[in-house]
Amino acid sequence: MPAALLLSGRFETCVLHRALLPGEKPKDLSSIVDALPNGLMGIMSLLYAEGDFKKTLSISASAGLDRDNQPATLGGLIGVIGGADRLPEDYKMVFAGNTKNPFYGTYVNQTRDGLPKRTEIDAIVDRIAVIAKKAILANGGEKRGKPNGETVYIIKTDI
């Protein structure tokens, strides 16, 4: 890792900005929730971790100013790219006291009061699909049948 990007153990937005956008004056970065520095740090995390799941999460949590979104987004991306087989076992098995079965296909609720402890992802997808279909039709979209019997929803766009 270039020494210019690492200061006191954490990545600094101003140094990163100067390194990647020389000659441009940085805008006011008084808010930590900003797409430019967080996007750049996300890209940096992907590049320096070289596809390693744990390194990607570690770098993105350390480098990102918005520390919850970067690891979640990049961890999901690396997971999709590599598939479940490439995820570290300790990330799949030991969760909420579960040491015998992976939690594939299940949302495990740890902090949201009033919601079930475990919900199958398929059930969540089914509920979202019902809402999405209604929203598409309510906003001028169309429901069409294909020759193979499949139903598709056409979203109305402004284009």
Mean pLDDT of 12-31: 59
Entry pTM: 0.47
Rounded-to-integer distance, Cα 53 and Cα 71, Å: 10
Strand partners for 143 = 153
pLDDT at 69: 82
Rounded-to-integer distance, Cα 108 and Cα 121, Å: 10
pLDDT tens digits for range 110-142: 888 888 988 988 899 899 999 999 999 999 999
Q: Tell me which residue of 68, 12, 2, 72 sits closest to 40, measured CA to CA.
A: 12
- Tell me which of 11-15, 16-20, 34-38, 104-108 is least confident: 11-15
- Of residues 1 and 26, more confidence is placed in 26
Other Cβ atoms closer than 10 A to 107: 15
DSSP 44-70: HHHHHHTT-HHHHHHHHHHH-SSTTHH
DSSP the chain: --GGGEETTEE-HHHHHHHHSTTPPPPP--SS--HHHHHHHHHHHHHHHTT-HHHHHHHHHHH-SSTTHHHHHHHHHHHHHH-GGGS-HHHHS-BTTB-SS--TTEEE-SS-TTS-SEEEHHHHHHHHHHHHHHHHHHTT-EEEE-TTS-EEEEPP---
